[in-house]
Amino acid sequence: MSERPAFVTLGSTVSAAENIVNWLKAELEGEKQPDRVEKVERHIGQFNTPEQVKSYMSGRGGSIRIAALRVRNIQNRRGMTGLVTWAAYIMMADFWGYPRDARCEVIAGRLARRISCREAAAGMKAERMAENIAAENLWSGGLDNLGITMWAVTWEQEFRLDDEIDLSTLPEFLRLGATIVVNGQPVSDEPQIINVREGQTDDKEND
């Protein structure tokens, strides 16, 4: 039996995303607390349907998922760096009589405060402070029918892209979405889909 080959994560946002997750967990993750969520995790990309949101809320009163949406201004001087556009998706259900819309907005504000505080850049191992921080209400009728409210906090921040990470410690994703940006322009209008498992095709429904 052949040995599984190594997979080096250099040149990606994987390590940076895990640093952000760990920084947010200390302040925002906790069981049975209305101003916290059960899980803060790295995410594959943007949400397109209410059903996708529901799949990450099963059995939970709240969840935060962190996704890298694109990378600009990639440079390789004293190590590889890039300006990453991040999105933190905050998803909430009603909890012990506390309305989901209020919980979601409060936690979105706490998240924005956490990534913008003086210690955040060092805590997330970023190259500089977060910029262009914004929060958006993603309420829709479809989400409301599922009993879920959703906000997104987005920001830009420069990170090192050549920090290696042990993939065995990360949640398993079957597919990764990547948008390659060169000189400020996307190479393609559609994100590239990278199949993680050997032999997997793009038409599989498990993401």
Band the pLDDT of 202: cuts 50, 70, 90: very low
Residue 172: pLDDT band by 50, 70, 90 thresholds?
Answer: low
* pLDDT on residue 32: 86
* pLDDT cut 90: percent of the chain above it: 58
Mean pLDDT for the chain overall: 83
For the ranges 5-14, 40-49, 125-134, 165-174, the lowest mean pLDDT is seen at 165-174
Q: What is the pTM of this model?
A: 0.77
d(CA 124, CA 110): 16
User: pLDDT value at position 194?
Assistant: 43
Determine the pLDDT at residue 140: 93
* Percent of the residues in the chain that have a pLDDT greater than 70, as a whole number: 76
Q: What is the pLDDT of residue 159?
A: 97
Question: Residue 52: its pLDDT value, please?
Answer: 87
Beta pairing partners, 160:
81
Q: Domains in the chain, start-ordered, CATH in brackets?
A: 14-195 (3.30.2000.10)
Each residue's pLDDT tens digit, 38-83: 999 999 889 888 888 888 887 788 999 999 999 999 999 888 999 9
HEC profile for the chain? CCCCCCCCCCCCCHHHHHHHHHHHHHHHECCCCCCCECEEEECCCCCCCHHHHHHCCCCCCEEEEEEEEEEEEEEEECEEEEEEEEEEEEEECCECCECHHHHHHHHHHHHHHHHHCCCHHHHCCCCCCCEEEEEEECCCHHHHHCCCEEEEEEEEEEEECCCCCCHHHCCCCCEEEECCEECCEECCCCCEEEECCCCCCCCCCCC
